[in-house]
Amino acid sequence: MGTKLIVLAIVSTLLAYYVYIPLPEAVDERLKLMLVDACFRSLEHLAELTELVGFKHYMEMMMVLTVAESVAPSSDENVNVTDTTFNKVPVRVYEPSGHRPGLKRAVIFMHGGGWCLGSSKMQPYDLLSRRSATELNAVIVSVEYRLAPEHHFPDQFNDVYTVVKYFLQRDVLVQYLVDPGRVAVSGDSAGGNLAAAVAQQIQEDPEVHAEIKIQALIYPALQTIDFNTPSYQQNENMPILPKTLMVRFWSEYFSCDKLLLKNMMANSHATLESRGLSNFANWSIHLPEEFRKDYRYALPDRENVDSSVRIPGVFDPRAAPLLVEDEKLKALPQAYIATCEYDVLRDDGTMYAMRLKKAGVQVTHVHYEDSFHGAFMFITWPTDFAIGQKMVSHYIDWLRKNL
Ligand SMILES: *[C@@H]1O[C@H](CO)[C@@H](O)[C@H](O)[C@H]1NC(C)=O
Ligand SMILES: *[C@@H]1O[C@H](CO)[C@@H](O)[C@H](O)[C@H]1NC(C)=O
């Protein structure tokens, strides 16, 4: 009896210690977030373990969540949902039912998950697409692009690009009753990265005649120069995307090479090529004072770069859309950019918003002082957060007014 009590006491102390992480006062529903974070961390530890013993790649283990949350395409009285392919790339298409007159809007949506995880079929994304289709009277194309570690850059980008290009064809827009002047690309996290990259590349494609009207980027990842921006430092251990996981996502996007991961973690992955690009992500120039705080700008000395490890693509603008000249930003579509204070990617989105504005692009930058990475998809039970609902509602309202 006594032993049992002692064991119980030890287990609950360990558990409490494991679950408890200090969270900022500004964040609501902290206990719930701690529990969600503890679940994520457990899965991450399990994934590390299975990888260590050589049983499965880390990301394969992490994929269980994606699979567990997957839902079948089911139509209802508001939306007609179909799984199909656009030029061989799988997509899930949501068409508003009913006979509303006139042409519809369209949103091509890219889910998040660090180019390694996630799916258009996950319940929160499915719900988001249904809500968007119904409330915006829009056709939603949710792209099921290929993922790392099986597929690396530029496969993810190419899949998304293929879908956008396919959809922008005149006859396809006619088939879906979509107004060619009211098409948006949108995505969260890695999906925001893909949406931003597509918006840049498609404007240079002579074969594309229709335009993208809006790019909506929800806490996007946009640059590979510096994994030590003030937000990376401030939010290193914030749920649900600690710096270690974000950097792992980046390195897996390009390669399974552990040396790349190691160098990226140390922020010493620079090459001769990246030296010329570092100003595009120089946060001492492109961040507002209140984000820079007392952090010191200290990019490793670019003269001493070890260019023996050259992984193609790391500084390619299709992977890191922040790393382009101002000239390339000028003609970009109107942007909606959401960032969260408690997110390693806060500064990526903020720098892009600042640079786009300077280049003369119309930008709505919504910064959530009380939110964290991932909140946008925390909209389904049991991981529903009021802040997630608020972010989604604001996004849809904004699209209603601007798309
Ligand atoms: C749903 O959409 C598909 C593909 O566009 C179409 O073939 C089908 O007739 C639609 N179903 C309904 C009930 O509108
Ligand atoms: C970043 O900008 C600051 C301020 O203009 C400048 O002193 C620094 O050299 C820049 N760093 C890089 C790597 O471009």
Give the CA-trace dihedral at 75, 129, 153, 271, to 10 degrees. Answer: -170
Instruction: Report which protein residue has its CA nearest ligand 1's atom 2.
Output: 80
| Segments of 198-325 assigned E as strands | 214-218
Cα dihedral sign for 98, 101, 107, 108?
A: positive
pLDDT bin (cut points 50, 70, 90) of residue 100 is: confident
Task: Give distance in angstroms: CA of 281 to centre of ligand 2.
Answer: 10
Percent of the chain with pLDDT over 90: 87
Task: Give distance in angstroms: CA of 340 to centre of ligand 2.
Answer: 25
Give the CA-trace dihedral at 173, 179, 181, 183, to 10 degrees. Answer: -70
Instruction: Report which protein residue has its CA nearest ligand 2's atom 13.
Output: 278
C-beta separation of 51 from 58 below 8 A? yes
Percent of the chain with pLDDT over 70: 97
Which residues share a beta bridge with 94? 81, 140
Q: Residue 308's pLDDT is what?
A: 54
The 10s digit of each residue's pLDDT in 185-217 is 999 999 999 999 999 999 999 999 999 999 999
The 10s digit of each residue's pLDDT in 23-47 is 999 999 999 999 999 999 999 999 9
Show the domains of the chain with their CATH numbers.
69-223+313-402 (3.40.50.1820)
C-beta separation of 47 from 41 below 8 A? no
C-beta separation of 156 from 253 below 8 A? yes
* First-last CA distance in the chain: 66
Residues recognised as catalytic: 189, 343, 373
pLDDT bin (cut points 50, 70, 90) of residue 261 is: very high
pLDDT bin (cut points 50, 70, 90) of residue 330 is: very high
Q: Quick check: CB of 244 below 6 Å from ligand 2?
A: no
Q: Quick check: CB of 298 below 6 Å from ligand 2?
A: no
For the CA of 299, the nearest ligand? 2
Distances (CA, A) of 391 to 159, 242, 379: 27, 21, 10
SS3 53: coil
Atom of ligand 2 nearest to the CA of 279: 14
Mean pLDDT of 110-121: 98
Longest Cα separation, the chain: 77
- How far apart CA 94 and CA 81 sit, in angstroms, is 5
- Give the pTM: 0.96
Which residues share a beta bridge with 70? 122
C-beta separation of 338 from 218 below 8 A? yes
Task: Record the tokens describing residue 324, joined without a space.
Answer: 């382009």
- Which strands form 89-96's sheet, in the order they lie side by side? 79-86, 89-96, 138-143, 104-110, 178-188, 214-218, 334-342, 363-372
Q: Evaluate if residue 280 carries a pLDDT over 90.
A: yes
Q: Evaluate if residue 300 carries a pLDDT over 70.
A: no
Task: Give distance in angstroms: CA of 274 to centre of ligand 2.
Answer: 14
121: exposed, middle or buried (Cβ count in 10 Å: 0-12, 13-18, 19+): buried
Rounded to 10°, the helix 155-167/190-202 angle is: 60
Task: List, in sequence order, the alpha helices (H) in 140-241.
Answer: 155-167, 170-175, 190-202, 230-234
For the CA of 95, the nearest ligand? 1
Instruction: Report which protein residue has its CA nearest ligand 1's atom 8.
Output: 80
SS3 349: helix
For the CA of 76, the nearest ligand? 1
Instruction: Report which protein residue has its CA nearest ligand 1's atom 9.
Output: 80
Q: Evaluate if residue 305 carries a pLDDT over 80.
A: no
Mean pLDDT of 144-169: 98
The 10s digit of each residue's pLDDT in 119-129 is 999 999 999 99
- How far apart CA 286 and CA 351 sit, in angstroms, is 5
